[in-house]
Amino acid sequence: TSARITLARDFTVGDVPRRLFGSFVEHMGRCVYTGIFEPGHPAADESGFRTDVLELVREMGPTVVRYPGGNFVSGYNWEDGVGPVDSRPRRLDGAWHTLETNAFGLHEFMDWSRLADVEVMQAINLGTRGVDAARELVEYANHPSGTYLSDLRRKNGAEEPFDIRLWCLGNELDGPWQIGHKTPEEYGRLAKEAAKAMRYVDPTIELVAVGSSNSGMPTFGEWEHTVLSHTYDEVDYISLHAYYQEHDGDAASFLACALDMDYFIESVVATADAVRAKGRHKKRINLSFDEWNVWYQRGLDTEDQLHRVQESGWREHPRLIEDEYTMTDAVVVGTLLNSLLRHGDRVHIANQAQLVNVIAPIRSDENGPAWRQAIFWPFARMAELARGRILSASVSSDRMSTDQFGDADIVDASSTWDEENSQVAVFLANRSLDDAAEVDLTLHGFTASGIARAEVLQAPDGADRHVSNTSDNERVRLQNLPGVRVADGGVKLSLPALSWAVVVVD
Ligand code: AHR
């Protein structure tokens, strides 16, 4: 297998939106409780934050974290999570059939986000609540002082405003499973009015309207069109969510699922721009891909799980969707990140769902260790190295055929140009299960003088594509990629079968 990749200094897509490397913390399963927060754990600090998990989060390098949901937020009262912990109410969370203690809330998340060095992306409840709760939360969080709500925040321990810039106007309200599910008309009107009222309190905030829960939703397309027709002037972004999995051993289709992500992104861009044209608007609406990942839902798995959880009664932080990721999943995650980066001119925010334990790159055992899943690595390296400008990579690769997505490039790539450090980073995936790929990289307008870094993620010796990491054995990890060489002003390398790699050219 072979591929030729051409990069030219002047052919760029735009600046790397650093918010593309976002993540997500929901009050769901063990993401918050026994994930990022576990008072009494040997590694917990005085606030109850797990420092072992925090270290892995810092190493992975998310730039922005969405909070507190997800489906959870559509039945959540933000007031329950502030004030003295002893007086916070215990509540039933209907979305995940869980007993919510509210021991962790807004102030705790803000404190944690500072330690993790991430921006906060706050979601509001537009399922069971509306305009009033939305504007009150903005006042509580962002108004300096001198009003009931801002002074309440100060009384609760935060003298300075939280200054949250980025807000999601609800979550997946197109989905019948959502508490407070709405038609596009109902949601569009509510989102517009909530946005107006929130901006009256703080005109500097950025707002994300809810888009489709996936590109297969029956209302996909119509939803975006109607919602944006109502909210165009008030919002800055429209959201997209997508989860992928391998079905019935069809690895080829699974490995090519980033083609669906491409299709989804390009369709939402087209829809947003159609609303722009019809309404004669000047500004553009950009995209917030604020939930994406590999998730083995196995048909009706979510409902099955919920059913099982229901049978065991109301419990605190039950185990929910703790997928164990394989080498194959890691390659797919690499291609999904490539898709997001290639569309970085319009996708300005993206959040891998979720951060810890719940379909997550980081796992942690209650009262036990924390570890990196296989999917940790493509995210960590791209978050670290994708800086500066996105280069428009021209890829000419051998192709493979897939049942679900037609023909796909075997070698998938994205690239960035970090002018400050004079480095070109190339992020590569080889989708072939059997063959190595010989890659020829041609550079125009750059003088390649050496290879600053070359790393590869592949199944370790003796393991197959289903290999995964466990608490005591992180078998899938980055290794040095040998044989990468500068030749004729370009770069030549060989990608092992089913691998993900990063090459940084000086
Ligand atoms: O990330 C898990 C769940 O997936 C979220 O709560 C919801 O928004 C989506 O359906």
- Residue-wise pLDDT for 208-217, tens only, equals 999 999 999 9
Instruction: Compute CA distances 81 → 138, 187, 191, 193, 321, whole Å.
Output: 15, 26, 23, 25, 24
- Residue-wise pLDDT for 142-193, tens only, equals 999 999 999 999 999 999 999 999 999 999 999 999 999 999 999 999 999 9
Q: Whose CA is nearest to atom 8 of ligand 1?
A: 70
Return d(Cα 454, Cα 506) in angstroms, integer: 11
**The pLDDT value given to residue 300:** 46
Dihedral over alpha carbons 253, 255, 261, 262 (to 10 degrees): -90
Q: Which of 354, 360, 352, 362 is nearest to 383 (CA)?
A: 352
Ligand 1 pocket by Cβ (under 6 Å): 26, 28, 69-71, 171-172, 291, 353-354
For Cα atoms 111, 116, 120, give the angle at the middle one, nearest 5 degrees. 65
Contact present, 7 and 107 (Cβ < 8 Å): no
Q: Is pLDDT above 50 for 306?
A: yes
Catalytic residue among 38, 136, 139, 172: 172
Instruction: Provide the pLDDT confidence category of residue 312 given band limits of 50, 70 and 90.
Output: confident
95 CA distance to ligand 1 middle (Å)? 10
Helices 106-116 and 51-60, packing angle to 10 deg: 60
Query: Does domain 390-505 correspond to CATH entry 2.20.25.240?
Result: no
Cis peptide, bond prior to residue 445, ω within 30 of zero: no
Q: Where are the domains of the chain?
A: 26-321+328-364, 390-505
Is the ipTM beyond the 0.90 threshold?
A: yes
Architecture per CATH, 26-321+328-364 = Alpha-Beta Barrel (3.20)
Return d(Cα 257, Cα 243) in angstroms, integer: 10
> Which of 172, 323, 351 is the pocket-test mutation for ligand 1 (most atoms within 8 Å of CB)?
172
Q: Mean pLDDT across the stretch 387-391?
A: 98
Q: Which of 373, 345, 350, 346 is nearest to 360 (CA)?
A: 373
- Residue-wise pLDDT for 22-81, tens only, equals 999 999 999 999 999 999 999 999 999 999 999 999 999 999 999 999 999 999 999 999
Phi, psi angles (nearest 5°) of residue 247: -105, 130
Q: Mean pLDDT across the stretch 8-12?
A: 96
- Residue 457 burial by Cβ neighbours in a 10 Å radius (0-12, 13-18, 19+): buried
